[in-house]
Amino acid sequence: MSRPTQGRIRPLSPNVQIYRPQLTSVLSIANRITGIVLSIFGVGLVTWLVAAAAGPEVYSAFHDIMASWPGQIVLFGGSFAFFLHLTGGIRHLVWDSGRGFQLGTIYRSGWLVIVASVALTVAAWIASRFMLGVH
Amino acid sequence: MARRYTGTGKPAPDNRSPFARATGLGSAKTGVEHWWAQRASAIALVPLTLWFIAMLMVHVGSDYATATAWLRTLPAATLMILLLAMLFYHAALGLQVVIEDYVHSSMKFAAIVLIRLVCLVLALAGIVAVFRIALIR
């Protein structure tokens, strides 16, 4: 018998360097990453509200940053992160009800999450451009 | 931690494995509440975030006057406050799980307290801003 259990440095599982990603594991970590990303966008939401409360000058400064190309790219990424987290979260709620655990169903719902989040992101941006014209 | 009395005045060293020490103690009692709160806030956020995205689309590119006029309406102010409360509650619960999974040092407790404080401050800052917009001018 060697050293006690707690002091030993044990190999980590899964070994991320040689681990072959599957749809299931990629979506699992994606839900977590988008959750962290959306928390940061929550800071953006508060900044927007505080800017609106501060007055027209501060608001237009914030608005100009968001309307710029880098701002729009960040917002586009944020909207995709939102729809991925939303659809992935609904998939989790279905699992919580005890349904959808068959291997085939898990892969089908996984691809549905990807297709739906891409479609919703594109639809939201096309719709927002249309609204911009109407306004 | 349970120590057995050996009659020598000194407690015997606890040589059991962590698994053996935890067996029979039951849950930590607070996990279920966290699990339910995470799901309940998630369900609340489905309509709230979709409403917010829809409003963002309608008010996209709108100036200060249009945006504040919208935020001053009762439904917008109410739903925005609900969104802020649910969003940062859900974020605090979720980020806590991320910390619990990856931080194993003594920093874990401090990190969770910090996350909760930051989320509380952000929610309050947003709610105060909504009140300011809705009530002043």
Q: Is residue B71 part of a domain?
A: yes
| CB within 8 Å: A79 and B62 | no
Backbone angles phi, psi at B91, to 5 degrees: -65, -45
pLDDT at A15 over 60: yes
pLDDT, tens only, B105-133: 889 999 999 999 999 999 999 999 999 99
The two structure tokens encoding residue A14: 């899964």
pLDDT, tens only, B34-89: 999 999 999 999 999 999 999 988 876 688 999 999 999 999 999 999 999 999 99
Strand partners, B11: B5
Whose CA is closest to B132, among A16, A19, A55, A92?
A55
Beta carbons of B97 and B37 less than 8 angstroms apart: no
AA letter at A6: Q
B103 at the A interface (CB within 8 A)? no
Q: What was the pLDDT predicted at B27? A: 66
Q: Is residue B23 part of a domain?
A: no
Candidate from A35, A86, A131 with C-beta closest to B60: A131
Q: Is residue B4 part of a domain?
A: no
Q: Is residue B118 part of a domain?
A: yes
Please list, in sequence order, all residues whose beta carbon lies within 8 angstroms of the beta carbon of residue B44, skipping any fewer than 6 positions away. B82, B86
| CB within 8 Å: B98 and A131 | no
Q: Is residue B8 part of a domain?
A: no
Q: Is residue B2 part of a domain?
A: no
pLDDT, tens only, A91-109: 999 999 999 999 999 999 9
CB-CB neighbours of B62 under 10 Å: 17
Nearest-neighbour CA in chain A from B6: distance (Å): 22
CA distance B12 to B7: 10
ipTM value: 0.88
pLDDT, tens only, B15-29: 888 888 877 776 666
Give the global pTM: 0.84
**Residue A49 buriedness (CB in 10 A; 0-12 / 13-18 / 19+):** buried
B135 at the A interface (CB within 8 A)? no
Q: What was the pLDDT predicted at B137? A: 56
The structural domain count of chain B equals: 1
**CATH for B112:** 1.20.1300.10
Q: Determine the residue among A34, A37, A45 to mutate to test chain B binding: the one whose Cβ has the most chain B Cβ atoms within 10 Å.
A: A45
CB-CB neighbours of A79 under 10 Å: 21
Q: Determine the residue among B56, B89, B127 to mutate to test chain A binding: the one whose Cβ has the most chain A Cβ atoms within 10 Å.
A: B56
Residues 80-99, chain B, touching A (beta carbon < 8 A): 80, 84, 87-88, 91, 94-95, 98
B13 at the A interface (CB within 8 A)? no
Candidate from B46, B71, B87 with C-beta closest to A52: B71
Q: Is residue B85 part of a domain?
A: yes
Q: Is residue B96 part of a domain?
A: yes
Residue range of the domain that includes B93 = 29-135
